[in-house]
Structure 1
C-alpha cells in the first residue's frame, strides 16, 4: 500500500486512466498488424480492400479505425459487394477495443484506489501505565498523582468520545455527523439482539425475560483495523446478557448510618438514615450497596444516579467487592449489577421495570425531595439489572470457550509471535471496553433516558422497553470503546492535565518487537488521504509496458523470420502501405527524386529537391535540380 494526499491521488488516478487508454492504443496496433498480415493476398482485389489495408497500416487509434471503416462502408455502399460485412470485420474489433479500454481505465483506477484507509503514524505507541493506583486517594508522591490524573483524565476522555461516536454513528441514533463516522475501518459493529432470552441466573432472580446481545466474530483487521495478513489475525466475540431483578428483597428498609464513629462524618451524616442492599453474603458494611434517605447526599440532586457492582471471573481483586450472592451469578462470566438511583419525576406513568413509576404519591420516604403536583414517582429507591459479559477468541480455525475475560486462555489457539501480539492488543482493548469501566467513568451521563429530562428533575415518560434500549446503547458504547482503544494503542491521545503534563507522558511502550511492529500497522479512515495498492500499480505498469514492447518488436521479429524463410511479400506490403511510402509514390509520379534505396517505412531523398509551383497538389510539379544520373529507381511495393 502507498498512502498519498487527495490531490496526489487524483493525479495518479488520472495518469493511470490515460496510461491504460494509451496501452489500449498499443494493443490495437498489434491487432491491426495481425489483421493486415492475415488479410494480405497477392491476388487482385477491389479498391475497398486496398483502402482497408491502408487503414489498418496507418491507423491512428481504434476509434479512428472505427470511424473510418464506417465512412468506407458508406462511400462504397453502391460500388461493390458485401461492403457492410467487410467493413464490420474492421469496425467491430475497433469498437471492442475502444469500449474495453475505456472500461479498463475506470476499473484500473478502482483497482488501485482501495479506500481512504491509512496507517497511523504518531511517534508514540503503547498503553497508559495502570499500576496499583487507587482512584479514591491522593498520594504523597506527586509523580503518582500525575499518573493517577492521566489514567482518570484519559479514561474519561476516551469514554466521552466513544459516547459521542455511538450517538452519531450507530443505528437508530445518527445525528448527521457523518464525518465523525469516517474514523474507523468499520463505522459500525452491529450485534444481534434477543429480547426474549432465558434468564441465565437463578430462575427466581429475573423479573422477566432477559436480553441477550451477541457481537458475532469481530475480525482484528476488517473490524478493528489491525493491519495483518489472514494467518496473523484474531477474532473476538463478546456476548452480554441482562435482566431486571427485584432489588427491594435485598434490603430491610431505612436504617441508621452504619459508620457513626467515622471522624470525617458530619453530624448530619451520623444522624442520617440509609438503605443497605445486601447483594453479597458478607455482612461487612463496606460490602453493601447503600442509598441515603436524604437526597442531599446524592452526588447529583436531579435526574439519574448510575452505579455498578462488578465481579470479574478469575480476578476478584481487580475491584474490592465481596462475591455476589450465588443467585445473582452465572457460571463462566464476568458480572455487573447496574444500580439506578432514580430522582426523576415523570409527567406520565412509566411501566419499564428499571424506571417504573406507577404512583403519583412518593412512597419511598425520601427527605428533602420536593413533591410536584401531578407527577409520577419511581416505585423504588434503587432498581437493578443483573448482567453478564462473556468473551471468546478465535484464530487458526480454533476458538476458546465463552467465559470471563481474565479466564481466557490463548494456548489452544496455537498463536505465533505476531498473532500473539495482535491477541494482546485486542484483549487489552476489550478489557477497557468492559461495561464496568464505562459506568465507572460516566456514571449516568450516557443514559438515553437523560435526554428526556427537563432542566429540573421532571422528565417526559420513558419507553416501556427503556431498559432494553439502555443495554443496547451500553453495548454499542462498548463496541466504540473497543474500536477507539485499538487506535489509541498506535496513537495515544495527549490530553492536557496541567501545564507541561499530558497523558502521553505516562505511556508504556510495547514490550516485544512484535507489539512494536503493530504500532505502524493500525488502520484508520482519513478523508484527506487515499491508499493505493502498490502491487496493482506495478502490475498495471508492467503489463502496459510489456504490451508496448510487443508492439515495437512484433513487426521486425516477424519480418526477420520471413526473411530467413525467403518469404517477404507480406513484409513488403506492410512497409509499402505506410503513409510516407504512399506519399513518396505520389512525389515520384510528379518527378520528385531520387530516393535512397531502403527497406525502411520512412523514405529519404538522395538529394534535396527544389519545390516549385504548387507542389504535389497543384498543376505545377516540383523541379529536381539534382544529378539525373544519380537517380536510383525505388522498388514498387504491393499493398
Structure 2
C-alpha cells in the first residue's frame, strides 16, 4: 500500500475534529508556501522581541527617573538604558559599570537591578531562537494529517449483479495489501516506521489474554486466547473527520483455541469423494482423511459427509502450509459456509473454523506448539553434509482452530432495525463496516507467518511453543488493517475496486463522506495551526502597537496627571537628540527650533560641525576661585556642606554669526556644559567610566545653569 497521492490532498483551511476545539482549525499548504509563512512569522516575532526590549527599558527607566539626588551609578546606568541600545550593548556596558563601581559603597539593590537588567538582555539576545521555536510550534511538517480531496470519490455499494470474480479480485487485493502492511508495521522484527505513515493511526490497538475454551470444554485441546479491540472510533482509529453527532463506534472480540479432533477423523478412499473434489482425478488406491466438525454449505454435488478432506498423497508431496476457513453466522445465515456441530455453535457469536494443512514439512528439532506439533523422528540424508540427520514430522497433517467473533455496535442485517436513530451518514458507514466484518474475518486468512521460515527443501529449524498465538495475532491485525482499507477506499477508487465503488454519491450524506477522510503524508506539505498562528501574531501585534503608542498615551495623560509629568519629561530630555541639542547649545553653536518636541530641528540653511575634545574643555569658573582644584573623594556628610554653585546665564548667539572672534570668545567663557565644578574638567574627558561617590542631582531642562558640585574619580 502506497502513500496518498499529492494531487488528492486538500489545500487550504479545514477543521481537524480529532483535536481539541481550540486547536482544530488547520491550514494545509505545500512546503514552499509553509516555509514562507513560517519565515515571515519568525521575522515578525523577532521584531516584537525588539519592541518588547524597548518596553522593558522604558518600564525599567521610568520609575527610577526622579528629580531627587541619587548615586552617580544610577544616572550612568539610566544613561545606558535611555538610548534603547541593543541587548548585547546593554549587557556589556552594564557589566563594565558594575566592574568600575565594585570598590564603592554601591547598594545591593542597585547591583541586583543591574544584574537583572543584564539577565534580561541575555534573554532578549536569545530572541531569534525563541522566535524559531515559537514559529516551529505553529507548523507540522513531518507525517502530517491531511484531508483527502478526490473527485473520484465513490461510496462502497455492492450491487446484486456484482460478479464473483470482481468481488474476489477486490478481496484478494485488500488481503494482499493488508498482509504487506502488517508485515511492515505490526511485526516487531520487521517494523518499518517509514512505510507505516499511511493511515492516521499506523496500527489498530488490541489486547491478548488467556481465557477459557469458547466452546464445550471437551472440544479444546489447548488453552484459549482472547483478543479485544476495545471500543474503536472511526474518527480516532480510522481517520474519519466526522462531526460529533455522526460518530460511529464498534468493538470486536475474538477467542480462539486448538480443537481436539483426534476422534473426529476417518480414512476413506479418494474415489468416495464427489467428482473433481480434489481438482483432479483420484489416484488408484489414494486415501483421504475426512474430518467431521460440521457440514459445509457447498453445492449439493460437491458436498461430503464431513467438514474437511485431505488427501494423504497430496500431504506427503506438499512442502508448504495451507489454510481453509469456514464461518457460521447465526444472525446472518445468508453468509454461512458451515453448519457446525452443536457444541461449536453459539447464539451470541459467529463461529469460524480454520484448518491448518502442514503437508510434509520437517523440523530440525521437536516442536511443542499445539498447532505445529512435530515429534515423529525420521532419518533424512543431508546433501550438504553427506550424512543422515534426524528430522521431525508433524504429528498430524491437519489441525483445526476454532474461533468465536463478537462484534458490538454493528447491525445484524442491512435493514438497520436495531439502529432506528442512525443518520444517513452513519448508515452508509455501518454498511461498509458490515461488509468488512463479513468479508475479512479469520476464515479469509490465506497465509501463516511460519511460512517465512521455510527453506527450499521444506524444512524449518524450529518454532516457539506459542507460534499459533502469534499466528492468531497476525490474523487479527490483518483483519483490522483490511477494515482500515475498506473505510478509506471510498475517497480514492482504484482499478480493482472500480465496479464496487462506481456509484457516485447521490445523496448529500454520501457526498459529505467524500471530504471526511484523513490520511498521512510524510513530506511535501505543512500543517499550520491557525490558533497558535493567531495567538503569536496577536501577541506580536500587541507588543508592537504598545511600543508605538504607549509613550504617546503617557505624554497625553501627563497633561492631566501632574504626578506623571516629571518622569515623562525626564524620558524626553534624556533622549539622544535632546542631549545632543543641549551639547551644541552649551557652545552657542546653533539655533534650534522645536526644542520642546521629541525631535528638535535646526534652521533650514544652518550647518553644524562635529565636536572636538578641546571644544568641551572649559577653564574653572571665576566663581570657583579659591576652592580646591580637585576633590578625589567626597563623603556624603561633606557633600551636604557644599554650597550650590550658580553659573551666569548662557549668552545668546551674537547677531553676527560670521564673527570668528566672537566665536572664539565663546569657547573660552564658562558654558552650560555639565562639567565637574570642583575640578574644572568635564566628566566626558576620560576614556574610562567615571564614577562619583556621592549623590548627584538630576539635570533638568529648567536648571541647566545651576549645578551641584560633585566629585568624579
TM-score, normalised relative to structure 1: 0.80
The Cα of 1:472 is off from its aligned counterpart by 0.9
The Cα of 1:450 is off from its aligned counterpart by 0.5
Rg comparison, structure with higher value: 2
The Cα of 1:197 is off from its aligned counterpart by 0.8
CA distance in 1, matches of 2:466, 2:81: 76
CA contact (8 A) 1:254 1:293 kept: no
CA distance in 2, matches of 1:378, 1:44: 103
Structure 2 counterparts to residues 17-36 of structure 1, below 5 A: 17-36=42-61
In the superposition, relative to structure 1, how do residues 382 and 593 fare at CA in structure 2: closer, same or farther (>3 Å)? same
CA distance in 2, matches of 1:119, 1:638: 71
CA distance in 1, matches of 2:72, 2:434: 79
Confirm or deny that 1:392 pairs with 2:408.
yes
In structure 2, what is the equivalent of residue 396 of structure 1?
none
In the superposition, relative to structure 1, how do residues 408 and 255 fare at CA in structure 2: closer, same or farther (>3 Å)? farther
In structure 2, what is the equivalent of residue 131 of structure 1?
159
The Cα of 1:98 is off from its aligned counterpart by 5.3
The Cα of 1:619 is off from its aligned counterpart by 4.6
CA distance in 1, matches of 2:194, 2:279: 50
**Can you list the C-alpha shifts for 1:339-392, whole angstroms capped at 9, x where unaligned?**
112113213332322222322479xxxxxxxxx985433233421000112223
In the superposition, relative to structure 1, how do residues 79 and 204 fare at CA in structure 2: closer, same or farther (>3 Å)? same
In structure 2, what is the equivalent of residue 332 of structure 1?
348
In the superposition, relative to structure 1, how do residues 546 and 263 fare at CA in structure 2: closer, same or farther (>3 Å)? closer
In the superposition, relative to structure 1, how do residues 433 and 111 fare at CA in structure 2: closer, same or farther (>3 Å)? farther
Equivalent residue for 1:183, pick from 190, 198, 223: 198
CA contact (8 A) 1:349 1:357 kept: yes
RMSD of the alignment, in Å? 3.8
Confirm or deny that 1:206 pairs with 2:215.
no
CA distance in 2, matches of 1:606, 1:591: 14
The Cα of 1:243 is off from its aligned counterpart by 0.3
In the superposition, relative to structure 1, how do residues 282 and 494 fare at CA in structure 2: closer, same or farther (>3 Å)? closer
In structure 1, what is the equivalent of residue 504 of structure 2?
509
CA distance in 2, matches of 1:407, 1:198: 35
**Can you list the C-alpha shifts for 1:26-61, whole angstroms capped at 9, x where unaligned?**
223223222322222111223322233333332244
Unaligned 5+ segments in structure 2 are 1-25, 380-387, 617-652, 659-671, 673-699, 705-713
CA distance in 2, matches of 1:67, 1:407: 80
CA contact (8 A) 2:230 2:251 kept: yes
CA contact (8 A) 2:257 2:403 kept: yes
The Cα of 1:192 is off from its aligned counterpart by 1.6
In structure 2, what is the equivalent of residue 594 of structure 1?
591
In structure 2, what is the equivalent of residue 140 of structure 1?
none
Structure 2 counterparts to residues 234-633 of structure 1, below 5 A: 234-258=248-272, 268=282, 273-280=287-294, 286=303, 288-293=306-311, 295=313, 301-319=318-336, 321-347=337-363, 348-360=365-377, 374-393=390-409, 411=419, 428-437=435-444, 439=445, 443-444=446-447, 447-495=448-496, 503=498, 506-510=501-505, 512-528=507-523, 529-566=525-562, 568-611=565-608, 615-617=610-612, 619=614
**Can you list the C-alpha shifts for 1:187-214, whole angstroms capped at 9, x where unaligned?**
23332211x3101111111112101111
CA contact (8 A) 1:314 1:407 kept: no
In the superposition, relative to structure 1, how do residues 132 and 602 fare at CA in structure 2: closer, same or farther (>3 Å)? same
In structure 2, what is the equivalent of residue 137 of structure 1?
none
**Can you list the C-alpha shifts for 1:265-294, whole angstroms capped at 9, x where unaligned?**
865479865433333268966264332426
Equivalent residue for 2:69, pick from 34, 44, 49: 44
The Cα of 1:589 is off from its aligned counterpart by 3.1
In the superposition, relative to structure 1, how do residues 504 and 33 fare at CA in structure 2: closer, same or farther (>3 Å)? farther
Partner of 2:266: helix, strand, or coil?
Answer: coil
In the superposition, relative to structure 1, how do residues 64 and 9 fare at CA in structure 2: closer, same or farther (>3 Å)? farther
Equivalent residue for 2:97, pick from 54, 72, 80: 72
Partner of 1:218: helix, strand, or coil?
Answer: strand
Partner of 1:217: helix, strand, or coil?
Answer: strand
**Can you list the C-alpha shifts for 1:56-86, whole angstroms capped at 9, x where unaligned?**
3322444543443323222333355225234
CA distance in 2, matches of 1:127, 1:221: 17
TM-score, normalised relative to structure 2: 0.72
The Cα of 1:303 is off from its aligned counterpart by 0.5
CA distance in 1, matches of 2:275, 2:518: 56
Aligned length in residues? 585
CA distance in 2, matches of 1:5, 1:199: 54
CA contact (8 A) 2:441 2:479 kept: yes
